[in-house]
Chains A and B, each alone.
Chain A
Amino acid sequence: MRLRELAHARAGDKGDTSQISVIAHDEADYAHLAAHVTAERVAAHFAAIAQGPVRRYELPALGALNFVLEGALGGGVTRSLALDAHGKCLGAVLLELDIPAPNRHR
Chain B
Amino acid sequence: MTRTIRIGAGAGFAGDRIEPAVELAEHGALDYLGFECLAERTIALAQGEKLKDPQAGFDPLLVARMAAVLRPCAANGVRIITSMGAANPEAAARATAAVARRLGLPGLRIAAVTGDDVLARVRDGDHALLERPGRVADLGARLRSANAYLGVAGIVAALRGGADVVITGRVADPALFLAPMVHEFGWAMDDWPRLGQGTVVGHLLECAGQLTGGYFADPGYKDVPGLARLGFPLAEVAADGSAVLTKVAGSGGRITRASCKEQLLYELLDPAAYLQPDVIADFSAVRLEECGPDRIAVAGGTGRARPATLKVSVGYLDSYVGEGQISYAGPGAVARGRLALDIVRERLRLTGVAAEETRFELIGVDSVHKGPVYKEPGHDVEPAEVRIRVAGRTTTMEEAVRIGREVETLYTNGPAGGGGVRKEARSVIGVVSTLLDRALAEPAVQYEVA
A contact set with B: CB distance below 8 Å:
4, 8, 10, 12-17, 19, 21, 23, 25, 47-49, 57, 59, 61-64, 66, 68, 75-79, 81-84, 89-90, 93, 96
**3 cross-chain pairs, A with B, having the tightest CB-CB distances, nearest first:** A48-B371, A12-B267, A21-B265
Contact of A4 among B221, B288, B358, B391 (CB under 8 A): B221
Select from chain B the residue with minimum beta-carbon distance to A47.
B371
Q: When chains A and B are docked, how far (Å) is the Cα of A38 from the Cα of B440?
A: 43
Q: When chains A and B are docked, how far (Å) is the Cα of A62 from the Cα of B284?
A: 9
Contact B266 A79 (CB under 8 A): no
Given that A78-B430, A81-B357, A96-B374 are contacting pairs, would A62 and B264 also be in contact in the complex, using a CB cutoff of 8 Å?
Answer: yes
Q: When chains A and B are docked, how far (Å) is the Cα of A83 from the Cα of B372?
A: 18
Contact A19 B267 (CB under 8 A): yes
B379 contacts the other chain (Cβ, under 8 Å)? no
Contact of B215 among A10, A64, A76, A79 (CB under 8 A): A10
Q: When chains A and B are docked, how far (Å) is the Cα of A81 from the Cα of B320?
A: 10
Contact flags B274-309 to A (C-beta < 8 A → 1, else 0): 000000000011111000000000001000000000
Contact B370 A62 (CB under 8 A): no
Q: In the complex, which residues of chain A have a beta carbon less than 8 angstroms from the beta carbon of B359? A: 81-82
Query: Smallest distance from the beta carbon of A7 to chain B beta carbons, Å?
Result: 10
Contact B393 A57 (CB under 8 A): no
Q: In the complex, which residues of chain A have a beta carbon less than 8 angstroms from the beta carbon of B369? A: 48-49, 93
Contact of A81 among B41, B215, B261, B321 (CB under 8 A): B321
Q: In the complex, which residues of chain B have a beta carbon less than 8 angstroms from the beta carbon of A82? A: 359, 367-368
Contact of B269 among A19, A63, A79 (CB under 8 A): A19
Contact B428 A79 (CB under 8 A): yes
Contact A76 B363 (CB under 8 A): no
Q: When chains A and B are docked, how far (Å) is the Cα of A57 from the Cα of B40?
A: 25
Query: Smallest distance from the beta carbon of A101 to chain B beta carbons, Å?
Result: 15
Contact B287 A77 (CB under 8 A): no
Contact A84 B221 (CB under 8 A): no
Q: When chains A and B are docked, how far (Å) is the Cα of A90 from the Cα of B368?
A: 8
Contact A81 B431 (CB under 8 A): no
Contact A78 B368 (CB under 8 A): no
Q: In the complex, which residues of chain B have a beta carbon less than 8 angstroms from the beta carbon of A14? A: 267, 269
Contact flags B350-375 to A (C-beta < 8 A → 1, else 0): 00000001110101000111111010
Q: Apart from A19-B268, A76-B430, what 5 extra A-B contacts exist at CB < 8 Å?
A: A12-B265, A76-B431, A78-B41, A82-B359, A90-B368
Q: In the complex, which residues of chain B have a beta carbon less than 8 angstroms from the beta carbon of A89? A: 368
Q: In the complex, which residues of chain B have a beta carbon less than 8 angstroms from the beta carbon of A66? A: 265, 268-269, 271
Please indicate which of the listed interface residues A77, A83, A89 has the most CB atoms of chain B within 10 Å of its own CB: A83
Q: In the complex, which residues of chain A have a beta carbon less than 8 angstroms from the beta carbon of B391? A: 81, 83
Given that A19-B269, A49-B371, A61-B287 are contacting pairs, would A78 and B131 also be in contact in the complex, using a CB cutoff of 8 Å?
Answer: no
Q: In the complex, which residues of chain B have a beta carbon less than 8 angstroms from the beta carbon of A83? A: 361, 363, 367-368, 389, 391
Contact A59 B271 (CB under 8 A): yes
Q: In the complex, which residues of chain A have a beta carbon less than 8 angstroms from the beta carbon of B268? A: 12, 19, 21, 66
Query: Smallest distance from the beta carbon of B21 to chain A beta carbons, Å?
Result: 23
Interchain residue pairs with CB less than 8 A apart (12): A10-B266, A12-B267, A21-B266, A23-B261, A57-B270, A62-B261, A62-B264, A64-B265, A68-B269, A81-B321, A81-B392, A83-B361
